[in-house]
A and B are shown apart, each in its own frame.
Chain A
Amino acid sequence: GQNIDQPTEMTATEGAIVQINCTYQTSGFNGLFWYQQHAGEAPTFLSYNVLDGLEEKGRFSSFLSRSKGYSYLLLKELQMKDSASYLCAVRDGDYKLSFGAGTTVTVRA
């Protein structure tokens, strides 16, 4: 089976930076995704990494190290609207997505 771990909860202050770590052990690897999910809503795509290194998209960046089975999502200049769950998902050797349980980020004023 797949094993994807991420912290359950994180709290940060508006304007700060938060880093959400994700470690994984999967049967094969075909990319890692980060999704954002606001309470009561559908997950929405944030980022995709398939090669080692950092992908930057505005205030959000995602990093991948395949040899370490490790990724992080970096949220900069936090805004209240960033309060949400962040889901780490790995595409395995059969091209199926396996999701972590999600990290709930609370942004405080």
Chain B
Amino acid sequence: IAGITQAPTSQILAAGRRMTLRCTQDMRHNAMYWYRQDLGLGLRLIHYSNTAGTTGKGEVPDGYSVSRANTDDFPLTLASAVPSQTSVYFCASSEAAGSTDTQYFGPGTRLTVL
């Protein structure tokens, strides 16, 4: 049972570089989410997708972009990384947005921007 996978597990990146964090789920969930988790701040929503082909902005979307070409994949791209984007990034999915469905989380990507 894979559930949600994320890659890479961790990455050190020079400021100004472009980086794509990958997220794949095999549960055929319609909704997917990207969060960042910083000490003392909890999980904050970056972007979300209620269904394939649609995306939306969360609480902290600046500097990030997403795409949802199919049901399974939801990559997060940092066009030009900055040190404030150093964080742990979690991808999550749920069966359907706008319902009582539970969100399930991937193992996370630890990103350091120098």
B-binding residues in A (CB < 8 A) = 1, 4, 30-31, 33, 41-45, 48, 50, 87, 89, 95-102
- Are the C-beta atoms of A43 and B102 separated by less than 8 Å? no
Instruction: Name the A residues within 8 Å of B2 (CB-CB).
Output: none
* Measured CA separation A89–B33 after assembly (Å): 15
* Measured CA separation A50–B106 after assembly (Å): 25
Instruction: Name the B residues within 8 Å of A44 (CB-CB).
Output: 105
* Measured CA separation A9–B99 after assembly (Å): 32
6 nearest interchain CB pairs? A42-B105, A101-B42, A99-B43, A99-B42, A95-B98, A45-B102
Taking residues whose C-beta sits less than 8 angstroms from the other chain, chain B's interface range is 20 to 34
- Are the C-beta atoms of B45 and A101 separated by less than 8 Å? no
Instruction: Name the A residues within 8 Å of B98 (CB-CB).
Output: 95
- Are the C-beta atoms of A96 and B45 separated by less than 8 Å? yes
Subset of 9 A-B contacts with CB under 8 Å: A33-B102, A33-B103, A42-B107, A42-B108, A45-B104, A48-B100, A87-B42, A87-B43, A96-B58
* Measured CA separation A31–B105 after assembly (Å): 18
- Are the C-beta atoms of A95 and B104 separated by less than 8 Å? no
Instruction: Name the B residues within 8 Å of A50 (CB-CB).
Output: 100
Could you tell me the dominant secondary structure of chain B's interface residues? loop
User: CB within 8 Å of A: which of B87-114?
Assistant: 90, 97-100, 102-108
A-binding residues in B (CB < 8 A) = 33, 35, 40-45, 48, 58-59, 90, 97-100, 102-108
Nearest-CB distance from B3 to chain A (Å)?
Answer: 10
* Measured CA separation A96–B44 after assembly (Å): 11
- Are the C-beta atoms of B99 and A48 separated by less than 8 Å? no
Instruction: Name the B residues within 8 Å of A98 (CB-CB).
Output: 45, 59
Instruction: Name the A residues within 8 Å of B100 (CB-CB).
Output: 30-31, 48, 50
- Are the C-beta atoms of A41 and B107 separated by less than 8 Å? yes
* Measured CA separation A75–B56 after assembly (Å): 36
Instruction: Name the A residues within 8 Å of B44 (CB-CB).
Output: 99
* A48-B102, A95-B98, A97-B103 known; A43 vs B43 contact (CB < 8 Å): yes
